Amino acid sequence: MKDMPQMGMGTFRLEGEEARVSASKALDVGFRHIDTAQFYDNEAQVGDAIKTSGLNRNELFVTTKVWHESLGEDHFIPSVHESLEKLKIEYVDLLLIHWPYPGNDISLESYLGSLAKAKELGLTRHIGVSNFTIDLLDKAEEILGKGEIYTNQIEIHPFMQNRKVVDACKAKNIRATAYMPFAVGKVMKDETLQQIAQNHNASPAQVVLAWMEKRHIYAIPSSTSKTHLQENLAYGGVQLSDDELALVDGLDNGERIVNPDFAPEWD
C-alpha cells in the first residue's frame, strides 16, 4: 500500500475551474498527494485533474473527508460512494472524519464504525481523523484499535505548533498532518522566517516545509501558482541548522486561525 507523501497539495477554498487548474498544475510539477473534502465542493474538479493527468492510479495518494451531515449511519457509506464518483476513482488512499461530530445524536462509536466499514469495503486504503483532540484520539483508538488511525490532520504552522497533540500522535504512531502550514500567508511576512530563508536563498514557505519534515510533520499547503507549487516541492534543498530549527520552534504563540463554533474543546 502506498505511503502518504511528506507533502501534498491542499485544495481548501479552491472552487470550480480554479480547483481543477490548480490540482492539474500540482500533478504536473510532481505532487503525488492531493487532499480534498466533501465540504470543499471541489471533488469533481480534483477528479477531472486526476483523470486528465495521465498518471496511473497507483502513483497517486488521494485524501478526502466526510462532512458532518454524512456522518449518520444511513448516509456515511453512500456519501463515500458519491465522493468516489466525483473523484472518478474506485478508492481513496485516505478517508478522514473532517471534524468530530458536534451534536449528541450521532455517537463517536457509530461514525468511526462507519469509517472502519468503508475500509473493509475497499473504498479507502487508510482511515484517519481531522481536528481531533487528545481525548478524542484516545477514544478513537479504543474504538478502532491500535494502529488503525493513519493520521490526525490538524492546524499546524510556526505560530500554532499544537505540540501536545503532535506529541500524542507520535506516541500512538499516528502521523500528524499540518493544514494551513503557512498560516494563510503570515509566514511570508515573518522577519525570523525571512532571515532564515535569506540564509538559504529560499522562500519562507520552503523554510517552514523543511522545518516540518525535521519535526516529522506532514504538510498539505495550498497554492494556485505553478511557481509556488514548484518552490514548495523543492523545499528539500533547504537544510536547516539546529539553531535555525530552534528559531522556528520559538515562533509558537498559540495563534489559532481555524476555530469554528462547532470545534471541540481544544488541548
Tell me how far CA of residue 93 lies from CA of 33, 81, 125, 231, in angstroms: 9, 14, 5, 25
β-pairing verdict for 124-130 and 9-10 = unpaired
At a CB cut-off of 8 Å and minimum separation 6, what does 197 contact? 203, 204, 206, 207
CA distance linking residue 92 with residue 52, whole number of Å: 17
* Residue 33 counted as an annotated binding residue: no
Tell me how far CA of residue 131 lies from CA of 176, 191, 224, in angstroms: 11, 29, 25
Q: Under DSSP, is residue 96 helix (H, G, I), strand (E, B) or coil?
A: strand
Q: Which residues pair with residue 90 across a beta bridge?
A: none
Catalytic residue list contains 40: yes
- Taking 3-state DSSP, the helix, strand and coil percentages for the chain, each rounded to the nearest 5, stand at 45, 15, 35
Q: At what angle do helices 16-29 and 43-52 cross, to 10 degrees?
A: 40
What is the number of other CB atoms lying within 10 angstroms of the CB of residue 201?
A: 9
How many DSSP H helices and E strands does the chain contain? 11, 8
Q: Which are the catalytic amino acids?
A: 40
Annotated binding site for substrate: 98
Annotated binding site: 98
